[in-house]
Amino acid sequence: MPYQMDCEKEIDEKGALCKEWAESGLCSLHRPTMFLFCRKTCLCDGPSRR
């Protein structure tokens, strides 16, 4: 079964760093790493909304 995001319950493992990383483009440049540590920021909030 594929992973399903629950954006209401999702948290970022790296907290405030995720916002900074997303703004510098890491959500698209380093997808596997960002999926592990910053799922909410990269997949729920979306870097383009920052």
Instruction: Give the residue among 21, 13, 3 at the shortest CA–CA distance from 39.
Output: 13
Name the residue type at position 25.
G
Q: Is the pTM of this model over 0.85?
A: no
Q: Quick one: pLDDT at residue 2?
A: 75
Beta carbons within 10 angstroms of residue 33's beta carbon: 13
Structure confidence by residue, pLDDT tens digits, 1-50: 777 779 999 999 999 999 999 999 999 999 999 999 999 999 998 655 44
The two structure tokens encoding residue 1: 């079964």
Residue 10 falls in which region: left (phi positive, over 0), alpha (psi -120 to 50) or beta: beta
